[in-house]
Structure 1
Amino acid sequence: MRWLLALIGLMPGAAVAHPHMFIQTAVAVIFDEAGLATGIRVTWTYDDYTSLQVMADVGITEDASGQLSAEQLAALNGFDMDWDPDWDGDSHARLDDRALSLSGPQDWTASYADGALSSTHRRDFSQPLDLRDHVLGVASYDPWYYVFYELSPAIELVNPPPEAGCRAIYRPADTAKAKLDLEAQLRTMQDKAEVEFPAVGKNFAAEAWIICASGT
């Protein structure tokens, strides 16, 4: 994502610390009328510094009440949707142990409150999924840990089939173990770490599990 990489370069301490950007993340799993999971809706709320930088880049400032006008919000809509072709959006889904493909972003929005920019977008699975007898896992992480996505435990299920008894479970990351593993890798890499930082983002990522009851 071109704008994200440009912002990272402006951040204090960007050359020596990870992560550089913090994004509060909420996930909703969407079901169709047949009770099949069709995709996810992702909400990103950016840290204050990143929000300020994005607004400054497009010449937008809040008014005296700390709000943005409808015209300003319209100008910001899609500010983070200009994805490079080889960037996967840092959203990752799996059905049991099988990785799932996700479409590009759709139906995006932008909003602003309390000094922070937020955006939403929808991503579809390649085909609708019957989740009975399966576990759908959804996580948000940057493999290189430049960005930290803090997943909200409030995982939403949109239009789940009532008879399936679907439920969402928040699975926190084992951050203590992740930190120890990272420290061990950095010790072996020494001064190469900033050039080839290890792909440890997944180790720090919480995961949403969606489980539905067996069919009858």
Structure 2
Amino acid sequence: MRRATGALLAAAALVAAAPAQAHPHMWIDGEAVLRFDGQGRLEALRERWQFDEMFVAYTTQGLADKKGQLSPATLDRMAREWMGALGEPISHYFTRVAVDGKVVAYAAPRDAKVEWDAKRKTMALVFTLPLQQPVAPGATGVDIDIIDPTYFVAYDFSTAGAVAMDRAPAGCRADYRPPKPLDAALVQQLAAIPADQPDLPEELFAVTKGLTHRIRLTCP
């Protein structure tokens, strides 16, 4: 998992340029849209990850023109490299979809792009994860977990409307449950870990892998 996240950072040339930091090393404001097909089945997830200011600064260093713009070719390359890094089986886009505890497979991701606002200096990765076979949530529900258990990346889905549904049948609910907050002692332990340490200690990994952003989808 750490290797895949590191690949994402390396693709942006962040690791070589940034000073050592504590865990986490990247902050993402996330959005997720649950898309349904004409038969009322969940068919895809559309995710949007807006990166933190430090990541954006290092990612764009030396790439923007005098007006602060990034070329379409540069943005396309970023999207390809990041999706390639995130597609490794061990990370699998930091997104897990499960029905009755059984993980649902994805088809090839599509419509990946990097959104760049030169004026506000904001950047986001947007992509669609189609399910290999659409699933009908039913009363038993579908669990969607978004997490990096190494805590290299910290997600936030607290913005209003961050979790939404598209073409959902009447009565469907997408209930978002944030991870439990970390206590002060654990935060200090994580803060003491340098950026170049390859993995979290086992006892910390056992805690951080539970920091799951869970969306529970149910339909009558």
Tell me if the contact between 1:175 and 1:203 (Cα under 8 Å) persists in the aligned partners: no
Which residue does 1:18 correspond to in 2?
A: 23
Q: 1:140 aligns with which of 146, 164, 167?
A: 146
Q: How does 1:106-185 map to 2 (within 5 A)?
A: 106-113=110-117, 114-152=120-158, 154=161, 155-162=163-170, 165-176=171-182, 182=186
Instruction: Give CA-to-partner distance per residue, 1:10-56, whole Å, 9 cap, x none.
Output: 43333xx2111111111111100111111211111111111122223
Instruction: Give CA-to-partner distance per residue, 1:94-128, whole Å, 9 cap, x none.
Output: 22432222334211122113212112111122311
Tell me if the contact between 1:111 and 1:117 (Cα under 8 Å) persists in the aligned partners: yes
Instruction: Give CA-to-partner distance per residue, 1:107-156, whole Å, 9 cap, x none.
Output: 11221132121121111223111111122222221121111122245211
After superposition, the CA RMSD in angstroms is 3.0
Which residue does 1:82 correspond to in 2?
A: 84
Instruction: Give CA-to-partner distance per residue, 1:46-102, whole Å, 9 cap, x none.
Output: 11111122223xx422654x5556566455443522226333111122224322223
Stretches of structure 2 that go unaligned for 5 or more consecutive residues are none
Which residue does 1:33 correspond to in 2?
A: 38
Which residue does 2:218 correspond to in 1?
A: 211
Output the TM-score relative to the length of structure 1. 0.77
Output the TM-score relative to the length of structure 2. 0.75
Tell me if the contact between 1:26 and 1:152 (Cα under 8 Å) persists in the aligned partners: no
SS at match of 1:137: strand
**Structure whose CA Rg is larger:** 1
Q: How many residues align?
A: 199
Which residue does 1:7 correspond to in 2?
A: 14
Which residue does 1:202 correspond to in 2?
A: 209
Q: 2:98 aligns with which of 77, 94, 98?
A: 94
Name the aligned partner's letter for residue 123 of structure 1. L
Higher relative contact order (CA 8 A, sep 6+): 2
Which residue does 1:55 correspond to in 2?
A: 60
Cα distance in 1 for residues equivalent to 2:101 and 2:57:
39
Name the aligned partner's letter for residue 22 of structure 1. W
Stretches of structure 1 that go unaligned for 5 or more consecutive residues are none
Tell me if the contact between 1:150 and 1:205 (Cα under 8 Å) persists in the aligned partners: no
1:10–1:90: structure 2 CA closer, same or farther, 3 Å change rule?
Answer: farther
